């Protein structure tokens, strides 16, 4: 997003960074899955539900590369994933999106159906 506008303009919206991260289909679920405790890969597959091992690996890598998740190696061959502080601080905002969406999903769906049949 461009940020050439002055202070009276809204063109710079930091929320886009969060939205970009959460646009990753499984990102929010993986963050929630790590909220209680560090988890091994296999545990996360079960907790998240519906994600393949390969896609979970890719999601974890992207969250690691943004510094939201940390990979902890404990030899021999014991690897866990845990939230960083930055990742943990995103749990609250995601919950507020969940609350909003749960309260309004039916209303939004009804509007969309009405607009399709106009």
Chain residues in the site for its own copies (CB under 8 A): 1-2, 4-6, 8-11, 13-19, 22-23, 25, 28-29, 32-33, 46-51, 64-68, 86, 89-90, 92-94, 96-105, 107-108, 110-112, 115
Strand segments (E) across 41-84? 69-74, 78-83
Q: What are phi and psi of 109, to 5 degrees?
A: -60, -40
| Closest to its own copies by CB, 76 or 118 | 118
Exposed / middle / buried, residue 59 (Cβ in 10 Å: 0-12, 13-18, 19+): buried
Least distance to its own copies from the beta carbon of 67, Å? 3
For the CA atoms of the chain, what is the radius of gyration?
18
Least distance to its own copies from the beta carbon of 42, Å? 14
| Closest to its own copies by CB, 9 or 37 | 9
Least distance to its own copies from the beta carbon of 17, Å? 4
Query: How many Å apart are CA 68 and CA 40, to the nearest integer?
Result: 16
């Amino acid at each position: 997003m461009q940020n050439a506008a002055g202070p009276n303009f809204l063109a710079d919206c930091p929320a886009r960074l969060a939205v970009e991260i959460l646009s990753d289909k499984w990102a929010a679920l993986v963050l929630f899955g790590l909220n209680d405790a560090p988890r091994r890969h296999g545990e996360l597959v079960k907790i998240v539900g519906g994600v393949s091992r390969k896609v979970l690996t890719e999601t974890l890598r992207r969250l690691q590369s943004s510094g939201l998740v940390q990979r902890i190696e404990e030899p021999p061959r014991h690897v866990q994933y845990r939230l960083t502080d930055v990742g943990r601080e995103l749990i609250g905002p995601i919950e507020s999106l969940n609350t909003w969406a749960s309260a309004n999903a039916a209303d939004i769906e009804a509007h969309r159906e009405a607009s399709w049949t106009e």
